[in-house]
Structure formats: C-alpha cells, structure tokens
Amino acid sequence: MEGGTVPRRYTCDGADISPPLNLTGVPGTAAELVVLVEDPDAPHGTFVHWLMWGIDPHDTHLAAGQVPKGATQGRNGFEKNAYGGPCPPKGKPHHYVFSVYASDKTLTLSADATADDVKRALTGHTAASGTLTGRYGR
C-alpha cells in the first residue's frame, strides 16, 4: 500500500529478501522491465537497495526472494548484486521508493552496472513507469 510500512521480513531486521511485486499496466511495446529500489533519505544521498533489469514484460508477478529467469541484478549501495532491504539508522523512518520501468528496447548492460547506468540506458526508451513508496524505521 502506498505510504505504508515495509514489512520487517523484507528488511535487514528480518529475512532481508525482496518483497513480492505485482505489476500492472505493462504496455505491449515493452521489451523488458526494470526494478529500482532507492532510499532518498539516506544520510549521504540516495542509496540504492535493489537494481534489476532484463525482466520479461510478461512476468508481472515477482515472487518474494526470487529473481526472474533471465533477469540481471546490478550493483546496489551495499556493493552487492542482490536485493538489500531497508536498514536505516535508528531514529526517523526512511522512505523506500520502488520504481518499475518498462523499456521499449533490451538494455545491454554489464552486471556491475549502477542505477545511473540503467537510468541513462532508459533515457528515451521508457514506455511506462510506476512507483510505490513504503516507509521503514528502527
């Protein structure tokens, strides 16, 4: 739910697995989907928690803790090619923005691509996008 709390299971205080995502409104022109999860409240600037591309546009249900067949996970702020759940410092809750992009072309990126690399590759090729923001505090 938009603006709701990210369940503990999907954070560093829980199982630290990616949450399930149900995607709607994917255009027929989409060649692939991209998922990006960012924390804009991080003390040193926006922090990337998850970056994944190459998702089949017909895969509109992403199961918890699973990487769809053929998808590639890019480098997150933890320096890992994986999902890293919300893990804010104690105090004020942070916002976590889950963004999904439908690209009208297949992105050709290396596995060590960053969020900025993916955003550049999407320039002029985003057929649709959507976001969902959750909060988590400790």
13-35 b/e (C-beta count within 10 Å ≥ 16 → b): eeebbbbebebeebeeebebbbb
What are 42-93's pLDDT values in tens digits? 999 999 999 999 999 999 999 999 999 999 999 999 999 999 999 999 999 9
Strand order in the sheet with 94-103: 72-73, 47-55, 32-39, 94-103, 126-136
Q: What is the mean pLDDT of residues 117-133?
A: 97
Domains detected in the chain:
8-21+28-128 (3.90.280.10)
User: Which residue reads 């809750």 in tokens?
Assistant: 93
Q: What is the mean pLDDT of residues 35-45?
A: 96
- Distance, in Å, from the CA atom of 32 to the CA atom of 47, rounded to the nearest integer, reads 24
- Distance, in Å, from the CA atom of 90 to the CA atom of 25, rounded to the nearest integer, reads 37
Evaluate if residue 1 carries a pLDDT over 70: no
DSSP reduced 3-state for 39: strand
pTM, entire model: 0.95
What are 60-70's pLDDT values in tens digits? 999 999 999 99
Q: What is the mean pLDDT of residues 21-33?
A: 96
Q: What is the mean pLDDT of residues 109-119?
A: 93
